[in-house]
Structure 1
Amino acid sequence: MTTTVSFNHLLRLSDDIGLFEHALGSVPRREYGYCVDDVARGLVVLSREPSPPLELVRLLERYLTFVLAAQAPDGTIVNRRGTDGRWLDNPEVGDCWGRALWGLGTAAALAPTARLRALAREAFHASAARRSPWPRAMTFAALGAGEMLLAHPDDTAARALLTDAVAAIGPIGDDPAWPWPEPTLRYANAAVPEALILAGICLPDPAALANGLRLLAWLLHVETRGGTLSPTPVAGRSPRGDRRPGFDQQPIEAAAIADACARAHAATGRNRWLTGLGRAHGWFFGENDNGTPLIDVATGGCHDGLEPEGCNANQGAESTLALLSTAQHARRLLAPWTP
């Protein structure tokens, strides 16, 4: 199993405006245009890449320009854009707002040039003044606020946003069988414990850290079957849901597990979290419920979902970024580690 990170397919999906959301096989479906959700994810991944070549620095700048163009004067975010450059919906504070803050906060902390970091930080502050009524949007925003605070511990806007995000996530439950702060598991679930872990580190908030680690341990237990990651399917999972493998499984779920386990390892130094990261990484290579690799080594892309008897043949932006993000963690943390 390789930890090599190939950006070939991400480059194939990108043009002078942004990142195409969908692909037919490995061919970009230009008719569906672009969305901030994916471009912001791309901004996170490219910002994390150590010593990126000039080609990736230019791509990062293109993605940052896209997110800046999506930002309304009041800090709300427009999500969808056509290939003619027109924006196709109205500004909002939903998931795209949260993901934009995630991307901007990460770029403000980690982008490879001072100019790009400064642009991202200014834009982060413009949107960080807003709040969303939706806890999952606040969760994504918290990830950007946490990255900002790791680089700039005195950033008051990021601190206020992260504090409010912890309140928006809400208390975890007393029932050990279902401590999750929502009635169902939905999508990118491990972002919730990661946000709490970041709050524990950055605010600091020992209770949030303990709750985040507890939720992540529980989620790994629920989403592991026979030593193999078995993520919550696209339809979600409830307390009374079927515990057999569910389909379709989405790469974003494995990537969120990888992100949260890497964060938990940074907070605690405990190798148990590297085991979780290893299972998330292995999921892409066929260590999953039907033994099908999601990675396409020929293209550098990732298939869009694990199905009961195989995988979705398409290789869209969200899936490919999920693979890249997980491979980045694996290269940094798993390559020098032997369980």
Structure 2
Amino acid sequence: MAPITVRFDHLLRISDQHGTFEHALGAEPRREHGYCTDDMARVLVVTSRQPEPDATVRALERVAVRFLDEAQAYSGGCRNRMDVNGRWTDSYALEDCWGRCLWGLGTAAAHSDTGLIRRLSVVQFERAAHARSRWPRAMAFAAVGAAELLSVDPANKAARSLLKDYVTVLPEPTGDDDWPWPEKRLTYANAILAEAMIAAGGALDDAALCQRGLDLLGWLIERDTGDGHLSPTPAGGWSAGEPRPAFDQQPIEVSSLADACARAATMDAAAIWPDTVRAAVAWFQGDNDAGMLMWDPDSGAGFDGLQRDGVNMNRGAESTLAMLSTFQQAQRFAGVPQ
């Protein structure tokens, strides 16, 4: 396996003064497709938690904070899409981009080594946190961001209020040991649902909620493992009785598992959590259902998808950020090659 190196070369190459381009054709950014808040929230997450970032990474962190600021409405909603000329092309909403915005801002408030970024992130978080979403993943991302902010500012009223409201809208446990998952089908970024329960349980001193998240995450890992390696839920989703492995597999599923397991490891000493982070790295390194490398060690680019017959070699923002995030989490655990 190639050694782990968190390289921002490709991410910087597909970024400019407005943001990071959403899509790429091969290694070239597809400028005509513009930028999105979903990706810029991810950019803020990986740039703010990078140890000792250089000047170029710090500059991209500032671009991300500015992008998220401009995406927000004063009432809390969030726009998602900006064109190549810096014009917003959609309306304010409370969908996943809103939740990811709060996730990015809470993470930066907790982890950025730049005081101005931390202060701006808190201000923007508190503005967006006035709103609530009816979408489970949006609320889950927002809850993780709130828990991050509370880790450094336990008295923050906006973050604590959001977390308490998040808990009230959680579905009741299914009572089905075979399918405890809160949805009838696994879809996308599944692990965020479990991670949010773990994060909220820790922040609110709710041991039962934390344990529910840990149990769900453990169940998800079992579903997303086959033949000794990660075999994540495909882009089309998965439900009991459907064949595995299944394709197209997306890097976001792997990074979501790594993030959730890294958080779980702070709450529980079981070996499954660091082991799964290591398995997530191995998935990018070729220990996957197709035996194919899912990143470019020379540039730090992530490939867009694992298919039955090979790899989607496009290197868009989401896949690259998923790889960078996974490698960052891996560096927290001993035994991962670096």
Same fold? TM cut 0.5: yes
Native 8 Å contact 1:302 1:319 kept in 2: yes
What residue number does 2:213 align with? 212
Q: C-alpha distance in 2, partners of 1:334/1:31?
A: 42
Cα offset, 1:163, TM superposition: 2.1
Partner Cα separation in structure 1 for residue 52 and residue 335 of structure 2: 18
Task: Name the residue aligned to 1:223.
Answer: 224
Deviations for 1:7-41, whole angstroms, at most 9, x for unmatched residues? 11110111011010000001101000000000001
What letter matches 2:309 in structure 1? E
Measured in 1, the distance between the counterparts of 2:285 and 2:145 equals 29
Q: Secondary structure at the match of 1:306?
A: strand
Shift of 1:167: 3.0
Deviation at 1:110, TM superposition (A): 1.3
Partner of 2:169: 168
Contact 1:26 / 1:299 at 8 angstroms: preserved in 2? no
Given that residues 144 and 200 in structure 2 are in contact (C-alpha distance below 8 angstroms), is that contact kept between their aligned partners in structure 1?
no
Distance across 1 between alignment mates of 2:173 and 2:276: 21
Query: Structure 2 counterpart of 1:280, which letter?
Result: A
Alpha-carbon distance in 2 for matches of 1:170, 1:162 = 15
SS of residue in 2 equivalent to 1:311: strand
Alpha-carbon distance between aligned partners in 2 of 1:11 and 1:168, rounded to the nearest angstrom = 39
Identify if the C-alpha distance between structure 1 residues 98 and 70 changes in structure 2 by more than 3 Å, giving closer, same or farther: same
Contact 1:233 1:250 in 2 (8 A): yes
AA aligned opposite 2:134: P
In 1: Cα distance, 2:75 partner to 2:178 partner: 42
**How big is the shift at 1:286?**
0.6
Partner of 1:251 in structure 2?
251
Query: Within 5 A, what are the aligned runs for 1:175-214?
Result: 175-214=176-215
Could you list the per-position Cα deviations for residues 77-103 of structure 1 after superposition, in whole angstroms to 9, with x for gaps in the alignment?
A: 010001111100000000000000001
Cross-structure match for 1:54: 55
Match status 1:276 vs 2:276: yes
The answer on whether the counterparts of 1:34 and 1:80 sit within 8 Å (CA) in structure 2 is yes
Shift of residue 289, structure 1, vs aligned partner:
0.5
CA contact (8 A) 2:189 2:253 kept: yes
Deviation at 1:336?
A: 6.8
Give the structure-2-normalised TM-score: 0.97
Give the whole-Å Cα distance in 2 for the aligned partners of 1:149 and 1:60: 21
How many Å apart are 1:53 and its aligned residue? Answer: 1.3
Tell me, yes or no, if structure 1 residue 241 matches structure 2 residue 242. yes
Could you tell me how far 1:248 is from its partner in structure 2? 0.2
- Contact persistence 1:131–1:138 (CA under 8 A): yes
> In 2, are the aligned partners of 1:138 and 1:168 still within 8 Å (CA)?
no
- Structure 1 portions without partners, runs of 5+: none
Could you report, residue by residue, the CA deviation over 1:243-299 in whole angstroms, capped at 9, with x for unpaired residues? x20100000000000001111111113322111111111110111001011011232
Amino acid at match of 2:17: D
> Residues 146 and 199 of structure 1 are in contact (CA less than 8 Å); yes or no, is this contact kept in structure 2?
yes
SS in 2 for 1:169: coil
8 Å Cα contact 1:3/1:328 also seen in 2: no
- Compute the displacement of 1:300 (Å): 1.3
Q: Contact 1:96 / 1:137 at 8 angstroms: preserved in 2?
A: yes
User: Would the aligned equivalents of 1:145 and 1:162 in 2 still touch at CA under 8 Å?
Assistant: yes
TM-superposed deviation, 1:174: 1.3
- Alpha-carbon distance in 1 for matches of 2:283, 2:169: 31
Segment of structure 1 superposing worse, 166-175 or 46-55? 166-175
**Do residues 293 (structure 1) and 323 (structure 2) align?**
no
- Report the AA paired with residue 8 of structure 2: F
Q: Are 2:303 and 1:311 aligned?
A: no
CA contact (8 A) 1:82 1:88 kept: yes
Which amino acid is the alignment partner of residue 259 of structure 2? D
**5+ residue gaps, structure 2:** none
Partners of 1:303 and 1:315 within 8 A in 2: yes
Q: Distance in 2 between matches of 1:334 and 1:137?
A: 32
Shift of 1:61: 0.5
**1:104-147: CA deviation from partner (whole Å, max 9, x where unpaired):** 11111111211111111000000111000111110111111111
Instruction: Give the TM-score of the pair, scaled to structure 1.
Output: 0.97
Mapping of residues 72-151 of structure 1, within 5 Å: 72-151=73-152
Partner secondary structure for residue 188 of structure 2: coil
What percent identity do the matched residue pairs reach? 50
2:325 partner SS: helix
Pair 86,336 (structure 1): closer, same or farther in 2 beyond 3 Å? closer
1:320 aligns with 2:320: yes
- One-letter amino acid of the structure 1 residue matched with residue 42 of structure 2: R
Q: Distance in 2 between matches of 1:144 and 1:308?
A: 35
Whichever residue aligns with residue 165 of structure 1, its letter is Y
Q: Is the 8 A contact 1:79 1:96 kept in 2?
A: yes
Aligned twin of 1:25? 26
